[in-house]
Amino acid sequence: MAAGQQVGAAAGLSSREAAGRLSAHGPNQLPEQPRRSVLARIGAQLRDPMIMLLLGAGLITTLIGDKADTAVIAIVVVLNTAIGVAQELRAEKAIAALTQLIADRFGEGE
């Protein structure tokens, strides 16, 4: 906190000033992010440069007939994609839970 600032009801905005700011700037909340489908998330994971390199290597190993290397590359790509999508979904749920917690905590006085 900056020097000289005070916190408390006496140092807050008047109801009129708060209403004016609400009217001018809107509510003090983060905008809702559009939810991406699982297919969109998978597509985003597959556009990662390292995965694209692995897919290229998989194509080459397929063309030369090396089935073992092709299988290993395919398994790595599938596992990486599944883990990446799962992490994104968990992170989204965590953000939603934190947002709700903040709304519950700071919305009590209203």
Give domain limits for the chain: 39-110
Per-residue pLDDT, 30: 67
pLDDT band at 27 (very low <50, low <70, confident <90, very high): confident
Which of 52, 58, 98, 87 is CA-nearest to residue 75? 58
In 14-48, where does DSSP find H-type helix? 15-25, 38-46
Distance of CA 23 to the CA centre of its chain: 29
This model's pTM is above 0.75 = no
Distance (Å, rounded) from C-alpha 4 to C-alpha 17? Answer: 21
Q: How many C-alpha atoms does 78 have within 13 Å on its Cβ side?
A: 6
Structure tokens given for 96: 């939603």
pLDDT one-digit tens code per residue, 53-110: 999 999 999 999 999 999 999 999 999 999 999 999 999 999 888 888 887 777 644 4
